[in-house]
Amino acid sequence: MAELTYRDAVAAAIAQEMERDESVVFIGEDVGAAGGVFKATVGLLEKFGPTRVLDTPISEQAILGVAMGAAMTGMRPIAEIMFSDFFAVSWDLVANEIAKTRYMTNGQVTLPLVIRSGNGGGSRFGAQHSQSVENWAMAIPGLKVVAPSTPRDVMGLFAAAVRDPDPVLFFEHKSLYSLKGEVEDGEILDELGKAATRREGKDVTIVALAAMVPRALAAAEQLASEGVEATVIDLRSLVPLDVSAVAASIASTGHLVTVEENPRLCGWGAELSSIIAEENLFDLDGPIVRVTTPHVPLPAADTLEDAAMPSASRIVEGVRRSLA
């Protein structure tokens, strides 16, 4: 057992899969010699050499085009898009080509590739470098969408993503890179589409993802001091989506609060709420409450960014509204 930062877990996860499988290669802007703009890939170039860790020009289209071609010819590429906002620059490749190739070739061509990216706000990077875009990807059939909240889950979920036969978008939250956590020794492999219960409680179910998980846990601590016991579920992935874990919890607690960093309109919490309302309505004893970022570009000013993003206090207020 070792304590790793979320940042170091990224490098360790990539190294684990590159050591296991020689068909795994890693490409992206500044991922090699510079060790990544967030220093999450330090040491990989030295360990695996320039034929397997390739620095690219500043072109998201080129990065993903190369990754797609490599996957089509039997390799398992890992591609980095430095900021998830930059998916917008190459969205045709992601949404129209990578997501649909297996379907349009009737399974004759598969694309076992992982696109990893720094996602989310809280780091004062401004509206064009702070978006939480996992809901963009969730809306596209053919993509799997993963967003870990702990160093240990970075390791296990990344291994599952690399070994998956389909394209996986792997969102690493920028504000979690310095987070430390215990990671067991040896190979770590999880299963995509399995949520994790981070805390058990009888009164309300709080569902969160990535950087919102620690905030949900902080809110649960505050609620416990008021006599309210909350279950906190970390979805870990949006596609596949573990609705069963949420439904089972709601059958016990009777209340659901979702916490999402996405702008409110069409966020993943809206989809989850819709499914629960349709399939588990009579298990609910109060309204479903969504705690989100408002539908605005994320500000760069620290006080405004903090006000826009879900906080522990806003989560507590959401729980109170559901219970009321």
The pLDDT value given to residue 188:
96
Average pLDDT on 203-218 reads: 98
Distance CA 307, CA 320 (A): 19
pLDDT at 79 over 90: yes
Domains of the chain: 2-183 (3.40.50.970), 196-323 (3.40.50.920)
List, for residues 25-40, the tens digit of each pLDDT value: 999 999 999 999 999 9
Provide the whole-model pTM: 0.97
- Percent share of the chain, pLDDT over 70: 100
Average pLDDT on 105-122 reads: 97
CA angle centred on 244, ends 243 and 250, rounded to 5°:
90
CB-neighbour burial class of residue 282 (10 A; exposed 0-12, middle 13-18, buried 19+): exposed
Distance CA 303, CA 36 (A): 28
Amino acid at 16: Q
β-pairing, 53-55 vs 24-28, is parallel
Distance CA 165, CA 26 (A): 17
pLDDT at 1 over 90: no
The pLDDT value given to residue 227:
97
CB-neighbour burial class of residue 254 (10 A; exposed 0-12, middle 13-18, buried 19+): middle
What's the mean per-residue pLDDT of the chain? 97
Question: Could you tell me how many helices (H) and strands (E) the chain has, helices first?
Answer: 12, 14
111's tokens: 């694309």
List, for residues 6-16, the tens digit of each pLDDT value: 999 999 999 99
Q: Are 131 and 121 in contact (CB under 8 A)?
A: yes
Amino acid at 23: S
Q: Which residues are catalytic?
A: 129
Contacts of 302-308 with C-beta under 8 Å, sequence gap 24+, read 302/124, 305/121, 305/122, 305/124, 305/130, 308/121
For the chain, what's the residue count? Answer: 324
